[in-house]
């Protein structure tokens, strides 16, 4: 592993040594939506200089180069340096934060699991390069789909990195769930807390509002007061599928998969990981150590808090029969993805 500079890292302190942020697939759509916000300080804060390393495949380099020209033209005071490469060893050298975005997106009619074979070959070598070259304090967020299983592959390929440093992006699903609840309740989205996404970033995910609050009140009570329908039926028949299939809805309406909202969720995920979650919890894909009976080793979404140093799974939440059934269904899909990857010989 590359040596960590004395004051480098991702803790939210003012420092003169920039944090090295590597973005894979930086020449793609999400990359373009991420770069300018990171350089503006939206992710790590207004006092933290960043050094950007953009990793692309050879055919994506020109697009990344174009983005780098525009970054220069923005004259961001926090942007110390931009390096573009198609070599993972260079891209991950001394990397403090790795945003693994580069992968093939799904098109209309595809499920995210259809991308397994196409994308499995990317995350093994990138995990190995992280293990060989990243800084000791590296934190990794996998965005490229299927995000949970890609994170599992990357972590398994970097045995010298603490597996808790590998995460999968689920925040987009949580943000979508909060957006739907805010609309149904006629409430400000910022008043909604403790929505949990369990399982896979896929159509089987479970958006759980059993512990969620709006302005301090139980969301389920507020929904019962506001909606003229049975709340349990609304949650099962309207809310859950709307959130779980939102990615497909975006693909159908836009003609390509979500970009700005995915980049925004990535920034939310890293900001909370690095600066802490404050009140309430959020959701992230983490390697299970058996919490909530999710089999050890799978990368599943859980309710999590961060104190700035790392994610901790919120334990002890009551799981009723409906929740158990829905969590188990999504976790079964994660186990099937892991088995499929094993069959491909990637794990
Ligand atoms: P895109 O096709 O616009 O960009 C992907 C980029 O990755 C391309 O520029 C491509 O050249 C590059 N790339 C491919 N293989 C690479 C490799 N081995 N190393 C480095 N770069 C590589 O796609 P996009 O819209 O930016 O989406 C990227 C990924 O993010 C897709 O897998 C998409 O499904 C996923 N996504 C995830 C979420 C989430 O919430 N987890 C949300 C939206 C999209
Ligand atoms: C999303 O949720 O928008 C992304 O995972 C893209 C997709 O394929 O749905």
Per-residue pLDDT of 178-219, as tens digits, reads 999 999 999 999 999 999 999 999 999 999 999 999 999 999
How many angstroms is it from 231 CA to the middle of ligand 1? 37
CATH number at residue 37: 3.40.50.720
119 CA distance to ligand 1 middle (Å): 10
Does 30 map to a domain?
Answer: yes
Give, using CA atoms, the residue closest to atom 4 of ligand 2: 247
Structure tokens at 140: 């990794």
Is the minimum distance from the CB of 306 to ligand 1 under 6 angstroms? no
164 shares its domain with 17: yes
Reported as half-sphere exposure (CB side, CA atoms, 13 A), residue 15 has a value of: 19
Helices (H), 134-259: 147-156, 171-185, 219-226, 231-234, 240-244, 246-254
Q: Specify if 50 maps to a domain.
A: yes
CA–centroid distance, 111 to ligand 2, in Å, is 9
Which element (helix H / strand E) includes 51? strand 50-55
pLDDT digits (tens, 9 = 90+) for 270-308: 999 999 998 899 999 999 999 999 999 999 999 999 999
Indicate whether residue 145 lines ligand 2 (CB < 6 A): yes
Do 286 and 189 reside in the same domain of the chain? Answer: yes
Cα–Cα nearest to 326, from 217, 156, 200 = 200
Do 182 and 153 share a structural domain?
no
| Cβ of 118 less than 6 Å from ligand 1 | no
Residues 202 and 159 in one domain: no
Residue 255 maps to a domain: yes
Domain boundary among 168, 189, 219: 168
Query: Which residue, by CA, sits nearest to atom 2 of ligand 2?
Result: 247
Dihedral sign computed on CA atoms, order 283, 323, 238, 187: negative
Contact between 161 and 189 under an 8 Å Cβ cutoff? The reply is no
Residue 154 CA: which ligand is closest? 1
- Verify whether residue 201 is a known catalytic residue: yes
Query: What is the total count of domains within the chain?
Result: 2
Find, among 319, 292, 315, 295, the residue nearest to 304 by Cα.
Answer: 315
Q: Which among 168, 193, 213 is the end of a domain? A: 168
Decide which of 116, 140, 168 is a domain's last residue. Answer: 168
Q: Please give the pLDDT value at position 120.
A: 84
Residues 138 and 280 in one domain: no
In a domain, 120, yes or no: yes
- Are 188 and 247 found together in one domain? yes
Whether residues 151 and 232 share a domain: the answer is no
Of 101, 103, 105, 249, best ligand 2 pocket probe by most atoms within 8 Å of the beta carbon = 105
**Ligand 1 atom with minimal separation from the 31 CA:** 26
The domain that holds 224 is classified in CATH as 3.90.110.10
Residue 6 lies in a domain: no
Evaluate: CB of 106 within 6 angstroms of ligand 2: yes
Are residues 31 and 67 in contact, defined by beta-carbon separation less than 8 angstroms? yes
CB of 261 closer than 8 Å to CB of 175: yes
Amino acid 6: pLDDT: 36
pLDDT in tens, 55-113: 999 999 999 999 999 999 999 999 999 999 999 999 999 999 999 999 987 778 887 77
Q: Do 92 and 139 reside in the same domain of the chain? A: yes
For residue 23, give its domain range: 12-168
- Residue 199 phi/psi, 5-degree rounding, is 90, -130
* Ligand 2 pocket: which of 101, 250, 260 to mutate (most atoms within 8 A of CB): 250
Q: Are strands 282-287 and 97-100 parallel, antiparallel or unpaired?
A: unpaired
């Amino acid at each position: 592993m590359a040596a960590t500079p004395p004051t480098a890292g991702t803790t939210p302190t003012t420092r003169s040594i920039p944090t090295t942020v590597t973005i894979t697939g930086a020449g793609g759509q999400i990359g373009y939506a991420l770069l300018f916000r990171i350089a503006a300080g939206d992710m790590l804060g207004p006092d933290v200089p960043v050094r950007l390393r953009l990793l692309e495949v050879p055919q994506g380099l020109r697009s990344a180069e174009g983005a780098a020209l525009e970054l220069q033209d923005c004259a961001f005071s926090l942007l110390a340096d931009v390096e573009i490469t198609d070599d993972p060893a260079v891209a991950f050298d001394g990397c403090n934060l790795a945003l693994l975005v580069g992968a093939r997106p799904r098109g209309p009619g595809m499920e995210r699991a259809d991308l397994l074979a196409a994308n499995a070959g990317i995350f093994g070598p990138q995990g190995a390069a992280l293990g060989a070259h990243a800084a000791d304090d590296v934190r990794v967020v996998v965005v490229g789909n299927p995000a949970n299983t890609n994170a599992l592959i990357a972590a398994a390929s970097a045995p010298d990195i603490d597996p808790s440093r590998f995460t999968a992006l689920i925040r987009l699903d949580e943000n979508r769930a909060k957006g739907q609840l805010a609309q149904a309740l006629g409430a400000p989205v910022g008043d909604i807390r403790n929505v949990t996404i369990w399982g896979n970033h896929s159509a089987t995910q479970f958006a759980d509002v059993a512990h969620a609050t709006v302005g301090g009140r139980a969301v389920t009570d507020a929904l019962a007061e506001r909606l003229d329908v049975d709340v349990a039926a609304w949650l099962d028949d309207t809310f859950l599928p709307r959130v779980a299939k939102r990615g497909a809805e975006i693909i159908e309406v836009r003609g390509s998969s979500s970009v700005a909202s995915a980049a925004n969720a990535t920034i939310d995920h890293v900001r909370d990981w690095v600066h802490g979650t404050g009140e309430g919890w959020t959701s992230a894909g983490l390697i299970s150590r058996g919490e909530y009976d999710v089999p050890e080793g799978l990368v599943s979404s859980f309710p999590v808090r961060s104190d700035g140093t790392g994610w901790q799974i919120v334990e002890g939440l009551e799981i009723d029969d409906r929740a158990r059934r829905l969590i188990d269904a999504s976790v079964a899909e994660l186990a099937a993805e892991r088995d499929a990857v094993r069959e491909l010989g990637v794990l």
